[in-house]
Amino acid sequence: MSTQPPSIVVGYDGSPDADAAATWAGQMARLRGEAVVVAIVVDRMESPRRPQWPESWWEEIEGQARETLAAVGVHDLAIERLDGGIASTLVDRATDASMLVLGSHGHGRVGEALLGSVSQSAARHSRCPVVVVRPAPGAHERRIIVGVDGSEPSLRALEFACRQAGATGDTVVLVRAWKPLTMPIDEHGDPPESMSRTLLEEEGALQKSVAEARTSHPEIEIEGEFFAEGAGEALVDASNTATMVVVGSRGHGALAETVLGSISHHVLHHGHCPVAVVR
């Protein structure tokens, strides 16, 4: 059995956002005691009529990656140049990784923007968590937000968030959201009793999740926040005061979604800090 520690794979194309992703990946690798693999994908089908970039171009990209990671204290790393479609190649390379890290946008000279088809496809198909990096305006808050609804993916998202918090010292905040599709009221202008009961049940479910998480992870500070709004909007709002938002790729009930779909898709595009999607 291999004794090698897990690795963090970062998709790299020399763009400023790729540098941000590599910087974040390097910082996390040092905190988690993991290796860094820089994956530079050469998509030769991207523009078959365009002349291929010379070897000196790729060497420059590799050198830039080394400099970026050296700036955060990572000197022992692997740089791999891979051929194939960007999303599928990154997903394949990260099969056994602890996470796949992408910048929020890619570089036009290399090809496809990493936000959009690449990040969506990677989040949909990757076996490991996919993290899309963007600046965290609320980083001083030291909070990792995780959407919970009791589904298996949300439980795996919670485990990922707790492991991350164990390395960073952040507080884990469980977010549960519920918003009725319509807002009926009675003749007195009050919501029906059934709606109030559902609201209490949702809040109770959050309290139960927080209690169970605290029992499983007594070393981590864990809190809960309930939002009476749509789950996607709630998680995006919470991302304003967070170092990371973690969501499951699928959910049910209060965070119901299909495929990658409504919630994770919304947070991946509109979150204000790094977003991790966990299958």
Give the model's pLDDT for residue 195.
66
- Position 170 pLDDT exceeds 70: yes
Band the pLDDT of 146: cuts 50, 70, 90.
very high
Q: What is the pLDDT of residues 203-219, one digit of tens each?
A: 999 999 999 999 999 99
- Position 125 pLDDT exceeds 80: yes
- Position 105 pLDDT exceeds 80: no
Class (C level, CATH) for 139-278: alpha beta
- Structure tokens belonging to residue 159: 């485990």
pTM for this predicted structure: 0.86
- Position 261 pLDDT exceeds 70: no
- Vertex 147 angle, CA 141 and 148, to 5°: 130
Give the model's pLDDT for residue 250.
67
User: In the chain, which residues fall in CATH 3.40.50.620?
Assistant: 7-133, 139-278
Mean pLDDT of 217-235: 94
**Cα–Cα distance between 190 and 226 in angstroms, integer?**
21
Q: Which residues contact 204 (CB under 8 A, 6 or more apart)?
A: none
Mean pLDDT of 4-11: 88
Give the model's pLDDT for residue 115.
47
Write the DSSP string, the chain. Answer: ---PPPEEEEE--SSHHHHHHHHHHHHHHHHHT-EEEEEEEE-TTS-TTSPPPPHHHHHHHHHHHHHHHHTTT--S-EEEEEES-HHHHHHHHTTTSSEEEEESS--TTT-S-IIIIIHHHHHHH-SS-EEEE---TTGGG-EEEEE--SSHHHHHHHHHHHHHHHHH-PEEEEEEE---SS----TTS---HHHHHHHHHHHHHHHHHHHHHHHH-TTS-EEEEEESS-HHHHHHHHGGG-SEEEEESS--GGG--SSSHHHHHHHHHH-SS-EEEE-
What does DSSP say about strands 143-147 and 244-248: parallel, antiparallel, or unpaired? parallel
Classify the C-alpha dihedral 97-99-103-105 as positive or negative: positive
**Cα–Cα distance between 126 and 102 in angstroms, integer?**
12
Mean pLDDT of 178-186: 63
Q: What are phi and psi of 191, to 5 degrees?
A: -70, 155
Q: Output the average pLDDT for the chain.
A: 85
Domain covering 7-133 assigned CATH 3.40.50.620 in the classification: yes
Give the model's pLDDT for residue 234.
94
Are 242 and 136 spatial neighbours (Cβ–Cβ below 8 Å)?
Answer: yes
Query: What are the residues facing 275 on neighbouring strands?
Result: 132, 245
**Cα–Cα distance between 174 and 166 in angstroms, integer?**
15
Least-confidence region, from 29-43, 79-93, 127-141, 242-256: 242-256
**Cα–Cα distance between 143 and 149 in angstroms, integer?**
19
